[in-house]
Amino acid sequence: MMNSPIPQNYEEWRHCITVECKIPLTSNFIEQRLAVWRDEACEETRRFRRLYGDDYWRTVLAWFEQAERELV
């Protein structure tokens, strides 16, 4: 169980997406999210960075990249 409402590590993040939000980490979903997170001009990405900061944005991007590697 997380102590923070915001995931602080990969395991918490994965649990949040797959268990709490019931979203399977499929190749298609991961590819779509990576396209958004890697596009610094995307409004969603800019909003996320304003709210959570660049360090957390890079962390979430890395978690999606890790999830992508785990599919292989």
* Residue 3 domain-assigned (yes or no): no
Q: Domain count of the chain?
A: 1
pLDDT in tens, 8-23: 999 999 999 999 999 9
**Does any domain span residue 19?**
no
| DSSP 8-state class, residue 7 | -
- Residue 43 domain flag: yes
Contact 7, 1 (CB under 8 A): no
| Whether pLDDT at 65 is above 70 | yes
| Any domain includes 17 | no
pLDDT tier at 2 (50, 70, 90 boundaries)?
low
Question: Is 14 among the domain residues?
Answer: no
pLDDT higher than 70, residue 1: no
C-alpha dihedral sign at 35, 14, 21, 5: negative
For residues 26 and 24, give the distance between their C-alpha atoms in angstroms, rounded to a whole number: 6
Domain membership of residue 31 (yes or no) is yes
Residue 54, domain extent: 26-71
Q: What is the pTM of this model?
A: 0.91
